[in-house]
Structure 1
Amino acid sequence: MDLRRLPRPDDLLILLTVARLGRFNAVAETLGTTHTTISRRILALDKQLGGRTLERSPHGWELTDLGNEAVAAAEAIEGTLGALANRITQSDDALSGLVRISTPDGFGAGFVAPALVRLQRAHPLLNVEMLSATRKVSQNRSGVDLEVVVGNLDVSNAQTIFLSNYFLRLYASPQYAEDRGLPLTLDDVRQHGFVSYVESALQVAELGHRSTQLPVPRSSFQATSIFAQLEAVRRGAGIGLLPNFLVVGDPTFLPVLPDDFQRQLPIWAVARSESLRSAPVQAVLEAIRIEIADRQAVLAG
């Protein structure tokens, strides 16, 4: 066998990472190298294979037919190297490497982080990066292995997995209720302060006040962080449109007009098919599902 005619295994593994993340910059960050190096290694691989493995699309880099064949070989190499590493370290733990996940900050802190911590305890060779982002699903695959998003989806070239529903409801602090009183009808909301997302910076319209058809409030406190909104409501800035799972059972938040208003939103996981074939990504997804199942009452509360 002429080894000079074979593609380099490390180049195949780089291609596999590009297939999972969709962007050279994200691959460079993950592998600790540069965009230029990634581009050069892919070009070298294309030359050895005699054709293009990737083509650019509006959704990031996509595999050609040749690229799909090369990725299948790369996945086999990845599995073999993982098994070898486990034997060398005398470990049965097949989960190692880095998984990057994007998630809204509230759901990320409440559900994703506990799931990932539990998974890492069982698999200490696994590294995770959790990026907080409250946005629509990325159409160019934003350089992460897995995206968690809320609201309605418009997705191409990726797989979507339904995780759960949750509710947005109205809440106020006991001190605000004592000082200002609470609205008796939805129309009365116009006489109160209102706490929600910054509408001009909001990608997921369903999370904002404008989409609720509630009347324009007397004043507003808007923040891009859900935790800033929670603190604003707690300190009496007004009535907040908040995820139920962040405040359920907390006596510092009072439900406002619970029989008259609520909004149910879905939570989804989105990933490229190449990412979903990765054992660490599968394990992360399953850990999140377990966390949701164990605490479904909180999401429904």
Structure 2
Amino acid sequence: MDLKRLPSPDDLLILLTVARLGRFNAVAETLGTTHTTISRRILALDKQLGGRTLERSPHGWELTELGAQAVEAAEAIEGTLGALSGRIARTEDHLSGMVRISTPDGFGAEFVAPALVRLQREHPLLNVEMLSATRKVSQNRSGVDLEVVVGNLEVSNAQTIFLSNYVLRLYASPEYASGHGLPETLDDVRQHGFVSYVESALQVAELGHRSTQLPMPRSSFQATSIFAQLEAVRRAAGIGLLPNFLVVGKPGFVPVLPDDFQRQLPIWAVARAESLRSAPVQAVLAAVRAEIADRQEVLAG
């Protein structure tokens, strides 16, 4: 056997990471190297295999037929190395490496972070990066293994997994209610201050005030962070449309027109097929789903 003609295992694993993340820059960050190095290693692999493994698309780098075959070999190498690492560490823990997940900040703090902490406690060789982002699903996967997104989806070249629905309701603070009173009808909202997302910066239209069909308020306090909105409502800036799971059971908030208005939105996990075949990604997804199942009543409101 001519070992010089065999593709480099390192280059195959780099290709696998590109297939999962879709962007050379994201791969370089994950592997602690440079975009130039990733490009050079992929070119070297193409030369060894006698054809192109990747082709550029509007959604990032995609595998060719040859690339898909090479990724199958890379996944076998990854599995073998994971098993070997587990034996060296004298443990049956085969989960290691880095998983990058993007998630809206509120849902991420309440559900994703606890799930990841518990998973990492069980698998100390696993590293995680959680990026907070309230946006539409990225068409190039944005350099992450797994995206958690809210609202209606328009997805191509990726798999979607429904996680749950959650409820948003109108809330105010006791201080605001005492000083300004609370609306008796939805039309009365126009006489109050309103706390919401910054409409001009909002990608998920369903989270904004404009999509609610509520009348324009007397004044507005807009913030890109849901936690800033929570604090603004708590400090009597106005009435806010808030996720029930961030408010229910916590002091400092009173419901506003609970029988007249609420909004229900879906939460999804989105990933490339190559990412979903990764054992660490599957473990992260399972951990998030378990956290949701344990606290479904909070999401449902």
Q: TM-score, normalised by structure 2?
A: 1.00
Q: CA deviation at 1:80?
A: 0.6
Matches within 5 A, 1:108-257: 108-257=108-257
* Post-superposition CA distance 1:134-179 (Å, at most 9, x none): 0000001100000000000000000000000001110000000000
The CA distance in 2 between the partners of 1:251 and 1:183, in whole Å, is 20
Aligned to 1:277: 277
* Post-superposition CA distance 1:7-32 (Å, at most 9, x none): 00000000000000000000000000
- What is the DSSP-based 3-state SS (H/G/I as helix, E as strand, rest coil) of the residue aligned with 2:161? strand
How large is the RMSD of aligned CA atoms in angstroms? 0.4
1:77 is aligned to 2:97 = no
- What is the DSSP-based 3-state SS (H/G/I as helix, E as strand, rest coil) of the residue aligned with 1:142? helix
- What is the DSSP-based 3-state SS (H/G/I as helix, E as strand, rest coil) of the residue aligned with 1:299? helix
| Structure 1 residue runs without a partner (length 5+) | none
* Post-superposition CA distance 1:56-104 (Å, at most 9, x none): 0000000000000000000000001111111111111010000000000
The CA distance in 2 between the partners of 1:242 and 1:183, in whole Å, is 17
Letter in 2 for 1:69: Q
Aligned to 2:53: 53
The CA distance in 2 between the partners of 1:286 and 1:27, in whole Å, is 24
- What is the DSSP-based 3-state SS (H/G/I as helix, E as strand, rest coil) of the residue aligned with 1:284? helix
Q: TM-score, normalised by structure 1?
A: 1.00
The CA distance in 2 between the partners of 1:166 and 1:83, in whole Å, is 39
Aligned to 2:64: 64
1:6 is aligned to 2:6 = yes
The CA distance in 1 between the partners of 2:212 and 2:20, in whole Å, is 37
* Post-superposition CA distance 1:176-217 (Å, at most 9, x none): 000000000000000000000000000000000000000000
The CA distance in 2 between the partners of 1:140 and 1:83, in whole Å, is 31
Letter in 1 for 2:202: L
- What is the DSSP-based 3-state SS (H/G/I as helix, E as strand, rest coil) of the residue aligned with 2:167? strand
* Post-superposition CA distance 1:228-253 (Å, at most 9, x none): 00000000000001001000011311
Letter in 2 for 1:81: L
The CA distance in 1 between the partners of 2:88 and 2:123, in whole Å, is 16
Letter in 2 for 1:7: P
The CA distance in 2 between the partners of 1:251 and 1:141, in whole Å, is 38
**Worse-matched range after superposition: 85-94 or 107-116:** 85-94
The CA distance in 2 between the partners of 1:160 and 1:28, in whole Å, is 26
The CA distance in 2 between the partners of 1:281 and 1:69, in whole Å, is 21
- What is the DSSP-based 3-state SS (H/G/I as helix, E as strand, rest coil) of the residue aligned with 2:251? coil
- What is the DSSP-based 3-state SS (H/G/I as helix, E as strand, rest coil) of the residue aligned with 1:249? coil
The CA distance in 2 between the partners of 1:104 and 1:129, in whole Å, is 14
The CA distance in 1 between the partners of 2:65 and 2:90, in whole Å, is 38
Count of aligned positions: 301
The CA distance in 2 between the partners of 1:280 and 1:9, in whole Å, is 20
The CA distance in 1 between the partners of 2:138 and 2:238, in whole Å, is 33
The CA distance in 1 between the partners of 2:44 and 2:56, in whole Å, is 17
Structure 1 runs (4+) greater than 6 angstroms displaced: none
The CA distance in 1 between the partners of 2:8 and 2:136, in whole Å, is 37
Letter in 2 for 1:77: I
1:292 is aligned to 2:292 = yes
- What is the DSSP-based 3-state SS (H/G/I as helix, E as strand, rest coil) of the residue aligned with 1:93? coil
- What is the DSSP-based 3-state SS (H/G/I as helix, E as strand, rest coil) of the residue aligned with 2:11? helix
- What is the DSSP-based 3-state SS (H/G/I as helix, E as strand, rest coil) of the residue aligned with 1:297? helix
The CA distance in 2 between the partners of 1:143 and 1:43, in whole Å, is 20
The CA distance in 1 between the partners of 2:57 and 2:63, in whole Å, is 10
